[in-house]
Structure 1
């Protein structure tokens, strides 16, 4: 079902400092997407950066993270599987910016 990780979101206190660190230390490629959001691409994955204090923008709750997984299943089948396990879908399906381009996304 799951083939690989597309992206994860990392909360940082200084976005440009994080960009400088990850691009310098690990040679990740800095990119800008959406409405000026920053990320670091490596291989077929990316790390999206989120400013500390803006977690609510993504409906973050205690114990939550933002991890995007790519699947070989159709999205409606994935959503049905998640629902059968008691996972509430809070957003989607909706088009998002993935590591390698646009992706159809659902957020549980």
Structure 2
């Protein structure tokens, strides 16, 4: 059968402004900012997961950057899970000045039924914040 993948370790998001993007994820989603490596790259930690932020044009700045075939900001569709209530999610997004483009709506996630709110980050990535029933 070969190998069986267990989990994600990290994902990488291309962004126009690393510092502004990091600030958005820290303030809106409560992630923790971390600098790593000799170049002090930026990542966002939450739970056992991590998102690395890569500036657009990184490949041109340093050809050793590993990137996907197409480098674009705003092309991600990410779903995050919280233990907060759906009402608390809506209240928090509103208090942060984040426009909820859809929600609350019922969805089916990896673990079953959930309630989701959708918004966009600074680069236009679709961000889904979900609460399991």
> Which of the five TM-score ranges fits, normalised by the shorter chain?
0.5 to 0.7
Structure 2: unaligned runs, 5 residues or longer: 72-133
Decide which of 29, 42, 47 is 2:46's aligned counterpart: 42
User: TM-score, length-normalised on structure 1?
Assistant: 0.53
Greater C-alpha Rg:
2
Decide which of 5, 13, 17 is 2:16's aligned counterpart: 13
User: TM-score, length-normalised on structure 2?
Assistant: 0.44
Please name the residue that 1:28 is paired with. 31
- SS of equivalent residue, structure 1 residue 2: coil
Please name the residue that 1:76 is paired with. none
* Closer, same or farther: CA 61–14 of 1 in aligned 2, 3 Å: same
Structure 1: unaligned runs, 5 residues or longer: 64-108
Structure 1 segments of 4+ aligned residues over 4 angstroms from their partners: none
Q: Which has the higher contact order (CA 8 A, sep 6+)?
A: 1
- Cα shift at 1:2: 1.3
- SS of equivalent residue, structure 2 residue 9: strand
How many residues were matched structurally?
Answer: 64
- The separation in 2 between residues aligned to 1:59 and 1:4, in whole angstroms, is 20
- The separation in 2 between residues aligned to 1:59 and 1:7, in whole angstroms, is 14
- Cα shift at 1:12: 0.4
Alignment RMSD (CA, Å): 2.1
Higher strand share: 1
